[in-house]
Amino acid sequence: MSSSGPTLAQTEVVEIVITIIATVVTSFRLYVRVRQRRLWIDDAWATLGMIFDFTLLVALCLYLQDFEKYPQGVRVALYYISAQSFYIAVWSSRLSILFTIVRLTVPGTFFRRVLITTAIIFGIVWALLFSQLWWICENIPGWKTQPRPQCNLGRTVAITQIITDVLGDSVLIFTPFCLIYRVRLSRGQKVRVLSVFSASAITTVVSLIHAYYIFSGGGIRVIMTAIVEASISLIVANLSVVVAFIFHLNAEDDAPSSPTPIITFGSLPRKRARDPLAMTFTDAGTTAVVLEDLSESRSRSLKTSDTDEITLSNRERKQTRDLC
């Protein structure tokens, strides 16, 4: 390790702090969804990401600080647990974002089927990365005899991570543009919604740094950037729910003086469709994208209790007629 690299103490501080932040944000997301009875598949993926992000923290702390206390086989196992927990945390977070977008689409539509297919592809990529690490590390077993075992993943893994991370995050960034492109929103509202999903670009930047250190044999830097990427991915996956909750509270505060359209994430009751992903743990039915302008619909009741429900469209009447 070069003198300019982070120390073990600095690495552990970064790991603990950013993992705690990611865990708190995810726990708040789950609290909001449970409170509103809005739990769905995207929340399950976020929970899985949180579990393995914390697993990554514990394994790395043991791997970095107390490795001398354990037999060599345990040290190797801690490395493998850390490496695979990283993949699970990152791709679970991406799947959580993807299913957050899925729940905003109408069941049975072509766009929804494309998103489900994309989710399957994400799962396949995750499995390939998972297998690639075993394949490379088991074919060069010399690293297992090091005092602190760390497999030299090399440029093959680095290039694979760069390609999959950039493509995966690009899907998560540009898909919401297609979703709300034809929806009538003010410029500020569109910026608000798109900025939430575009935060995946932050994960891309961190993943590129992580891949660079893998490519250059960065040692302790690889470990630090791995935990940062996993935690940032999890935080970004929760932004849609947290930001919607915050703006919902602001909208409630401003409602008496200035009635304006309000954006939240949720659903519109509709006729049943044969879509296994349409089932949620609420009475509201399937998710959709609808806009309700309070200034034009004063007689309608606003669902102020659903903090993550998107009310998006001036075409609500037409949608209701079509669904009925």
pLDDT, average across residues 307-313: 41
pLDDT tens for 26-55 read 999 999 999 989 899 999 999 999 999 999
Segment 102-133, tens digit of pLDDT: 988 888 889 899 999 999 999 999 999 999 99
pLDDT of 270 reads: 44
**Confidence tier at 297 by pLDDT (50, 70, 90):** very low
pLDDT score at 311:
41
- The total of other beta-carbon atoms located within 10 Å of residue 144's CB is 16
pTM: 0.76
Q: What pLDDT digit, counting tens, does each position of 197-235 carry?
A: 788 888 889 999 988 888 887 678 888 899 999 999 999
pLDDT of residue 272 exceeding 70, the answer is no
Q: Is the pLDDT of residue 260 over 50?
A: no
- Give per-residue burial for 284-311: e unless 16+ CB within 10 Å, then b: bbbbbbbbbbbeebeeeebbeebbbbbb
The tens digit of pLDDT for each residue in 60-76 reads 988 887 777 888 899 99
Lowest mean pLDDT among 104-113, 233-242, 312-321: 312-321
Band of pLDDT at residue 246, cut at 50, 70 and 90: confident
Question: What pLDDT sits at residue 221?
Answer: 87
Average pLDDT, the chain: 77
- Once rounded to an integer, what is the mean pLDDT over residues 144-168? 89
Q: Are 194 and 176 in contact (CB under 8 A)?
A: yes
Check residue 184 and give its pLDDT. 67
Among candidate residues 114, 118, 110, 57, the one with its CA nearest the CA of residue 86: 57
Q: What mean pLDDT do residues 232-240 have?
A: 93
Is residue 233 within 8 A of residue 161, CB to CB? The reply is no
Handedness of CA 47, 49, 52, 58 (dihedral sign): negative
pLDDT-wise least confident of 244-248, 273-277, 315-319: 315-319
| HEC secondary structure over 165-221 | HHHHHHHHHHHHHHHHCCCCCCHHHHHHHHHHHHCHHHHHHHHHHHHHHHHCCCCHH
Question: Which has more confidence, 94 or 266?
Answer: 94
> What is the average pLDDT across 178-203?
73
pLDDT at 45: 96
The pLDDT score that the predictor gives to residue 141 is 84
What's residue 186's pLDDT?
65
Give the pLDDT score at 18: 95
